Structure 1
Amino acid sequence: MTMMIQTDLLVRYGATYKKVSASEIIFLEGDTGHYYHQLVEGRVCWSNFNDDGKEILQELVWPGESFGELVLFDQMPYACSAVALTDCVILRLPSAAFRQMLQDDPSISIRFNKMFAEKLRFKLFLIRELAGNSPEQTVDKLFHYLQKHSNKVCQECNKLLLTRQQIANLTGMRVETIIRATKALENKGKVSIVKGKVFLTSENETSCCKSRQSIV
């Protein structure tokens, strides 16, 4: 598990643990931010919602990752809402202590710069693919991007750790479109679908994935 900031360092600067129940709102788009959030256990969706309630998934947060940190750098309201996908444990560090930690250890700032660059690069990739390709081509390239650049694909068995609904929310496409595109890729031998799970290159689910099922 890749950890943004070591938990003992966060606790040393005053971070506290907070338990959050599944479906509980952690913060809302437009709220003022007062904490650095880092996920310890569970899954968090970092999303926007349109007037009809449709979710636009910006990021699926895994243990060790931070979320909502933009407010600590630009002092603007939250750009997205954070909702617990499962029961979660979160470390929260007050914003003043977070800024002091960055001053004391500039290497942490460098880490954040790298993370912001990676997220921006992914958004540029996604905009380009959505603007210029068919759904099948977009999904194909997205799967390969996730396999190469993220923790959303199991590195041992190549199982996609996002559901097709989450892919739809991430791309803005309908879930039916994602299902058809994935099926077309399977027919071409580019993916395998085993018991509803998508494998990018492997046909068999290994034991490493039995405890990391994709969450609907």
Structure 2
Amino acid sequence: MDIQQLIDKGFPVKTYAKDAIIYEPGMLPHHVYFIKAGEIRMVTVSEEGKEFIQGIFKAGEYFGEPALLIGKPYLAYTIANKPSQLIPVGKTDFFELLKSNADFSMQLIQVLSKRLFYKSMMLEELANEKAEHRLLTIVKYLTEELEEGEALKVTRQELADMTGLRVETVIRGIKQLAGKKLILLKRGKIIKQKDIKFSL
């Protein structure tokens, strides 16, 4: 769904400051949020206050639809990583978009399937005690859609929050993977390379 189409239809754009919470666990869903600008992270938080990243959403993407589709409360926080502009689309309007736009409906199925795959993959990885294996799996997943030579735009802290590892462990693990030539580092950035090996 093109963001400009939503604006042309009269949907309002709301501005959120960095670190603003869009919704939190237990809240009932009323909207799907389309991102005009900025970046949003979806996280669960442990009793100790540690975040585990469920996903990061960027301009042109949307979030919040699973809970809306089944009418269940949210299970995670969504927080603005940077100043963001969102277009909230209510349940009735969102369902109308699905009914009137077959391409968008198919895109939604693909998006939900990709997120389900990611969650299943990470559940399996969390059972793996080897930090290097966790890191290699998430790097492989995150670089799949990058062009060769493109840098992965994810911080070490975000990798830590995605894998449940300490940031120090991530920094050390990334260096070890690069030393084994399992990933390519340039100026501290993970670079998508051709014919990369993804096995330990």
Shorter-chain TM band: 0.7 to 0.9
**Amino acid aligned to 2:150:** N
Contact 1:167 1:178 in 2 (8 A): yes
In structure 1, which of residues 16, 21, 36 is the aligned counterpart of residue 12 of structure 2?
Answer: 16
Length-normalised TM-score, structure 1: 0.81
Cα shift at 1:108? 2.1
Shift of 1:133: 5.9
**Aligned to 1:115, which of 111, 115, 132?**
111
Opposite residue 88 of structure 1, the aligned amino acid is: S
- Kept in 2: contact 1:13–1:101 (CA 8 A): no
CA distances 1:89-122 after superposition (whole Å, capped 9, x unpaired): 1111122111122222233222111111111112
- C-alpha distance after superposition, 1:30-59 (max 9, x if no partner): 111211101111111111112221111001
Partner of 1:76: 72
Is the Cα contact below 8 Å between 2:67 and 2:73 reproduced in 1? yes
Q: Please point out which of 189, 192, 196 is paired with 1:197.
A: 189
Whichever residue aligns with residue 116 of structure 2, its letter is L
Q: Report deviation, 1:13.
A: 4.6
Is 1:182 matched up with 2:178?
no
* Runs of 5+ unmatched residues, structure 1: 203-216
- Whether contact under 8 Å (1:190, 1:200) holds in the other structure is no
Equivalent residue letter for 1:185 = L
* Contact 1:39–1:90 (Cα < 8 Å) also in 2: yes
% same residue: 26
Q: For 1:138, what is the secondary structure of its paired residue?
A: helix
Q: Distance in 2 between matches of 1:96 and 1:44?
A: 24
Q: What TM-score, normalized by structure 2, do the two folds share?
A: 0.87
CA distance in 1, matches of 2:180, 2:56: 28
Aligned positions, number: 194
Equivalent position of 2:163 in the other structure: 171
More divergent stretch after superposition (14-23 vs 129-138): 129-138
Matching residue of 1:213: none
Shift in Å at residue 14 of structure 1?
Answer: 4.2
> Which shifted more, 27-36 or 137-146?
137-146
Give the Cα–Cα distance (whole angstroms) in 1 for the partners of residues 46 and 137 of structure 2. Answer: 26
Q: Aligned partners of 1:68, 1:55: CA distance in 2, in Å?
A: 18
Give 3-state SS (helix, strand or coil) of 1:64's partner: coil
Kindly provide the CA deviation profile for residues 161-208 of structure 1, in whole angstroms up to 9, marking residues without a partner as x.
111110111111111221121111121123344444333449xxxxxx
SS of aligned partner of 1:161: coil
5+ residue gaps, structure 2: 195-200
Q: Which amino acid aligns with 1:124?
A: S
Task: Indicate the residue corresponding to 1:126 in structure 2.
Answer: 122
